[in-house]
Amino acid sequence: MSQPAGSAAAPTATAPALGSWSLLRSPAVAATAAAAGVDWICLDAQHGEHDDASVREVCTLLAGSGVAVLVRPPSNDAAWIGRALDAGAAGVVVPLVEDAREAAAAVAACHYPPRGRRSWGPLGGAYGRAVPSAREARARCAVMVETAGALERVEAIAAVDGLDEVFVGPFDLSLSLGREVGELVADPAPDAPLRRVVAACRRAGVTAGAFGVAPGHTRALLALGFTSVAFASDVSALGEGLARLRADAAQG
């Protein structure tokens, strides 16, 4: 078992990276999110509508915007990861990683030999973008801890060489633990599951990220020590924004 979160060193004071989760297969919607000032945007090809074509379109549209485009592939699949990076994604958020071996496989898929196993084939030149050399390429690799088994092995996962981030999916993790997601996020215990993830990331020197797209979750996750949080999705922003505007109009 890990040490309690309270035993970990205090994090360096830096501004959190707040991102948007993209479920809709619309480059225009993704560009609107980027223009709103988000730090990063993740295109969801696991549960969202994104595919090869939309990933290429969004990466081309947002090239040079300063907003990092990440992709969640459908699974920990080297071919899918390579295609996302070839399209110009800054990195990937790999779902349902269970142990250090699977995390190492995700890292290897993100890097060219001799560090990894990524095959050469970037598409940037086809869209008028400069393509970094294999030596210069630096893809960001985040892996998702979403199950009770992964939580038990989170220290080993976070310590994998070359890993950049452990990203928590609190909805799936709560299902696996048999708990309500709100209870999981609000758990104040020193050895609470989410505190354990943050502590493991601090010790390993990697980013602790999380999906916070629910009322109050982002603030709670930031308070726990997560430093990269998805605070909204395009679907939630559209639905909540329209509901609010309609309510305002009805009062008019």
Annotated active-site positions, please?
Answer: 47
Task: For residues 167 and 101, give the distance between their C-alpha atoms in angstroms, rounded to a whole number.
Answer: 17
Angle of CA points 171, 207, 237, to nearest 5°: 45
Cα 42 → chain centroid: 7
3-state secondary structure of 231: strand
| Burial class, 181, CB count within 10 angstroms (exposed 0-12 / middle 13-18 / buried 19+) | middle
Sign of the alpha-carbon torsion through 192, 19, 130, 125: positive
Task: For residues 202 and 184, give the distance between their C-alpha atoms in angstroms, rounded to a whole number.
Answer: 20
Nearest to 18 by CA among 76, 55, 68: 68
3-state secondary structure of 96: coil
**What does the block give as tokens for 202?**
């601090």
Q: Give kind and range of the element (H or E) at residue 219.
A: helix 217-224
3-state secondary structure of 43: strand
